[in-house]
Amino acid sequence: MTFSTDTTRTFLWLSAHPEPRSLNGALRRDAIAHLRQRGHTVLESDLYAMRWDPVLDRRDGAGGADHGKRFIVSSHTRSAYLARSHPSEVIAEQVKLRRADAIVLQFPLWWYGMPAIMKGWFDRVFVSGFAFGIDASSGRRLRFEQGPFVGKRALVVTTLGDRPCAIGPRGISGELTELLFGLLHGTLAYTGMSVLPPWALPSADRVTDYAGARDSLGSRLDGMFVDAPIAYRPQFTGDYTPEWELAPHVQPGEHGLRVHLERGGHRP
């Protein structure tokens, strides 16, 4: 899919920070204003402001009110999705995501992951039938290059306390795309999205040049549909076995997360 820089798009800005007056709050407000000034539509999900409940339980499944039955998470949430019987707040988030050409996920890196409230957003919203599964008519597996969100772009925006070198290739915290592999590859790419290298602001508690950080993020947003995404390997073109393991002829003798990047592809 080809995107031009002068085309207006619809963004979903998903954010998780408990303090609107924080650095994250300021970046969020200025970045959304930046997008709107350029004519884009921005849908917002400020999870703390929404008082989002992150806990997936039987209310999210079809027939969930019947406490006498065993709650089978994947199949029952899929049935609820197909029957449109999910809680209204879950349906509303699915509608936003369906409308969006791109999703921006903004959060502070807490214990090297998303805040629990955002993880719970994915647990409740990205259910079978909506974000992954099997096409009932064709039997096609809906993930990676066949995922339901092919054509959408995704950008992670994060702040962290580590120094810049700490998240580099030899940093003590690990290279950022590997540190966030579960989210970037296992959630966003898995559902079909084209995932851009994350935008990160290290040493966030000691920022002295807010304008520089704001403008850097604005530049990344301007390139959302022209910058090269991370070149994760497709699953169904011969690189992987039917058991989902990298095939013996692909990068033999190598292992680790980087083998799931195509050689010659974009490496952040």
Q: Is the pLDDT score of 67 beyond 70?
A: no
Extract the tokens encoding 214: 């704001």
Distances, alpha carbon 242 to alpha carbons 42, 189, 247, in Å:
40, 19, 9
Least confident among 27-36, 64-73, 103-112, 193-202 = 64-73
Instruction: Please name the fold of domain 10-228.
Output: Rossmann fold (3.40.50)
What share of the chain in percent tops pLDDT 90? 84
Q: Residue 6's pLDDT is what?
A: 65
pLDDT at residue 192, as a whole number: 97
Burial of 211 (0-12, 13-18, 19+ CB in 10 A): exposed
Range 29-53 average pLDDT:
98
Q: Which of 15-24, 41-50, 130-139 has the lowest mean pLDDT?
A: 130-139
Domain boundaries along the sequence of the chain? 10-228
pTM: 0.92
Name the DSSP class of 155: E
- Tell me what the mean pLDDT of segment 147-154 comes to: 97
Residue 252 has pLDDT above 90, yes or no: yes
Confidence of residue 1 (pLDDT cuts 50, 70, 90): very low
Q: Is the pLDDT of residue 2 over 50?
A: no
Question: What is the average pLDDT across 72-87?
Answer: 93
pLDDT tens-digit profile of 191-225?
A: 999 999 999 999 998 999 999 999 999 999 999 99
Residue written as token pair 């029957």: 83
Residue 138 pLDDT exceeds 90: no
Per-residue burial over 178-193, b = 16 or more CB atoms within 10 Å of its CB, e = otherwise: ebbbebbbebbbbbbb
Could you tell me where the DSSP H helices lie in 85-190? 88-99, 116-125, 176-179, 181-183
Share of the chain above pLDDT 70, in %: 94
Q: Residue 147 — pLDDT band, cuts 50, 70, 90?
A: very high
- What's the average model confidence in pLDDT over 25-33? 98
Question: What average pLDDT does the structure give for the chain?
Answer: 92
Would the pLDDT of 4 be above 80? no
The per-type count for the chain, helices as H runs and strands as E runs, is: 8, 8
**Average pLDDT, integer, range 48-65:** 88
Which pLDDT band holds residue 267 (cuts at 50, 70, 90)?
A: very low
Greatest CA separation found in the chain? Answer: 57
How high is the pLDDT of residue 266? 47
